[in-house]
């Protein structure tokens, strides 16, 4: 038992073998499941700054101005508990950390945080190399934030990786969608080099979590799932700008390296981006794939992508499906047709118009 035992330790100790089975593809009688009423995602809540303002006031984010101690005091980590078969966890606030670390212009206003590209030319690519450093203020702030959050969690809940967007997302944040799309054809060597540097940055920040976050019940945690080793969540949301061929050429080599840098890895994918799935299924270093079902019409309905999702388990990867809304009938179809082994489901029930 951990030093800081909680009232639900018996529940957690019963869940951990089932979570281990998910990662190791051990046969089970049912999947990990959290069925809930779907709610639309609210905008990011405001975060306090050291000068007394909050991000609602509108500002360019300076990581040294981020008052993470005040944020933890305002919204302390959970003290335990579960959501169905998933754990509650302490997760650092998403502040566009990987994008800011590589020099993106991070903006905040009215509860939202996003990036605004600056003028960019591909001959600036090598300037990104100097940003991969322990002295980068985005890195030092995140490091201190994670340590403070872990101390506040006190071992009662695990500390998870923050939102970390992948290399193609970082480049889009720096250069903009138009420049990235054109660069794939007009400046392919420079784009490859920029992606390589962003891959190094991603691993550097990922290692911060694996090095600093203490083990929890002998493992780590991602998406509320205990994991028996170090774990990383990968993503490439701006693969929506790329053909399957371009993704395989430019991004798959990076995925291989990033996944290999950790014991376990899970790739975050949106239901509208399954066109890159083949480049993930034949990645021998990737443990699993997490697919977020986006609300229709921004993404296909669950039943429309089920045939593609079935390929994930057939390829020997574990599969996590989350998001929504989905119908009761869709969830029943999923649970009755997909193998329970290596399956985790956290879906909201409802309709787009609820």
Q: What angle do CA 206, 191, 164 make, to 5 degrees?
A: 20
Give the pLDDT score at 6: 44
pTM comes to 0.95
Position 67 scores a pLDDT of: 98
Per DSSP, helices labelled H in the chain are: 9-24, 68-74, 97-101, 137-153, 167-175, 177-186, 188-212, 244-250, 252-260, 277-281, 302-314, 328-337
Helix, strand and coil percent figures for the chain, each rounded to 5: 45, 20, 35
Is residue 239 classed as helix, strand or coil in its secondary structure? helix
Res. 354: pLDDT tops 80: no
Whether residue 2 lies inside any domain: the answer is: no
Retrieve residue 308's tokens. Answer: 């593609």
Is 121 in contact with 190 (CB distance < 8 Å)?
no
Confidence bin at 160 (pLDDT 50/70/90)? very high
In a domain, 132, yes or no: yes
Among 19-33, 119-133, 340-354, name the one with the lowest average pLDDT.
Answer: 340-354
CATH number where 210 lies: 3.20.20.210
Does residue 300 lie in a domain region? yes
- Residue 3 belongs to some domain of the structure: no
| Per-residue CA distances from 15 to 31, 110, 290, 351 (Å) | 12, 39, 20, 30
3-state secondary structure of 62: coil
Name the pLDDT band for 41 (thresholds 50, 70, 90).
low
What six digits make up the tokens of 325?
């809304």
SS3 label, residue 20: helix
Between 95 and 55, name the one with better pLDDT.
95
**Residue 339 DSSP symbol:** -
Give me the mean pLDDT over the 309-320 stretch.
98
pLDDT tens digits, 161-185: 999 999 999 999 999 999 999 999 9
Confidence band of 57 (pLDDT split at 50, 70, 90): confident
Torsion over CA: 56, 57, 61, 63 (sign) = negative
Strand, coil or helix: 98 = helix
Sign of CA dihedral 86, 90, 96, 102: negative
Spatial distance between the Cα atoms of 169 and 175, rounded to a whole number of angstroms? 10
Read off the DSSP letter of residue 348: E
Task: Give the pLDDT band of residue 8 (cuts 50, 70, 90).
Answer: confident
> What pLDDT band is residue 58 in, cutting at 50, 70 and 90?
confident
pLDDT at 146 over 60: yes
Give 201's contacts (C-beta < 8 A, 6+ positions apart): 98, 101, 102, 131, 132, 167, 170
Residue 112 pLDDT > 70: yes
Q: Would 267 be classed as within a structural domain?
A: yes
For residue range 205-236, list pLDDT tens digits in order: 999 999 999 999 999 999 999 999 999 999 99
Q: What integer is the mean pLDDT of 80-91? A: 95
| Span 243-264, pLDDT tens digits | 999 999 999 999 999 999 999 9
Collect contacts of 43-48 with beta carbons under 8 A, ≥24 apart.
Answer: 43/110, 43/111, 43/112, 44/93, 44/94, 44/111, 44/112, 44/113, 45/75, 45/111, 46/111, 47/71, 47/93, 47/95, 47/108, 48/74
14 neighbors 82 (Cβ within 8 angstroms)? no
In a domain, 88, yes or no: yes
Question: Is pLDDT of 285 > 90?
Answer: yes
- Give the three-class secondary structure for 104: coil
Q: Is residue 4 in some structural domain?
A: no
Q: What is the residue range of 99's domain? A: 9-349
Please state, rounded to an integer, the average pLDDT across all residues of the chain. Answer: 94
Contact 202, 161 (CB under 8 A): no
**Cβ atoms of residues 145 and 77 within 8 Å:** no
Phi–psi pair at 50, nearest 5 degrees: -70, -20
pLDDT at 115 exceeding the cut of 60: yes
Average pLDDT over residues 37-49: 80
pLDDT of residue 1: 31
Give the total number of structural domains in the chain: 1
């Amino acid at each position: 038992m951990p030093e800081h035992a909680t009232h639900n330790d018996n529940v957690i100790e019963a869940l951990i073998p089932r979570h281990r089975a998910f990662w190791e593809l051990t046969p089970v009688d049912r999947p990990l499941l959290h069925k809930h009423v779907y709610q639309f995602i609210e905008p990011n809540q405001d975060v306090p700054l050291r000068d007394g303002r909050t991000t609602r006031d509108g500002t360019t984010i300076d990581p040294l101005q981020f008052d993470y101690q005040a944020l933890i005091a305002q919204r302390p980590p959970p003290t335990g508990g579960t959501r169905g078969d998933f754990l509650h966890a302490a997760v650092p606030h998403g502040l566009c950390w990987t994008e800011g670390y590589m020099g993106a212009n991070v903006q905040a206003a009215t509860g939202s945080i996003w990036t605004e590209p600056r003028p960019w030319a591909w001959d600036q690519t090598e300037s990104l190399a100097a940003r991969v450093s322990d002295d980068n203020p985005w890195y030092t702030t995140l490091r201190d934030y994670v340590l403070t959050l872990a101390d506040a969690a006190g071992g009662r809940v695990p500390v998870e990786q923050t939102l970390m967007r992948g290399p193609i997302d970082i480049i889009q944040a720096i250069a903009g969608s138009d420049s990235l799309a054109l660069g794939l054809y007009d400046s392919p060597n420079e784009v490859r080099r920029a992606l390589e540097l962003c891959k190094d940055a991603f691993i550097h920040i990922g290692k911060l979590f694996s090095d600093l976050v203490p083990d929890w019940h002998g493992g780590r945690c991602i998406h509320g799932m205990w994991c028996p080793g170090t774990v990383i969540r990968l993503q490439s949301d701006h693969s929506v700008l790329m053909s399957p061929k371009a993704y395989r050429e430019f991004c798959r080599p990076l995925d291989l390296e990033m996944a290999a840098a950790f014991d376990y890895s899970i790739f975050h994918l949106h239901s509208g981006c399954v066109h890159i799935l083949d480049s993930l299924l034949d990645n021998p270093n990737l443990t699993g794939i997490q697919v977020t079902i986006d609300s229709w019409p921004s993404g296909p309905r669950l039943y429309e992508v089920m045939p593609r999702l079935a390929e994930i388990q057939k390829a020997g990867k574990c599969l996590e499906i989350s998001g929504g809304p989905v119908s009761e009938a869709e969830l029943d179809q999923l649970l009755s047709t997909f193998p329970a082994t290596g399956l985790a489901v956290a879906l909201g029930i409802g309709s787009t118009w609820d």
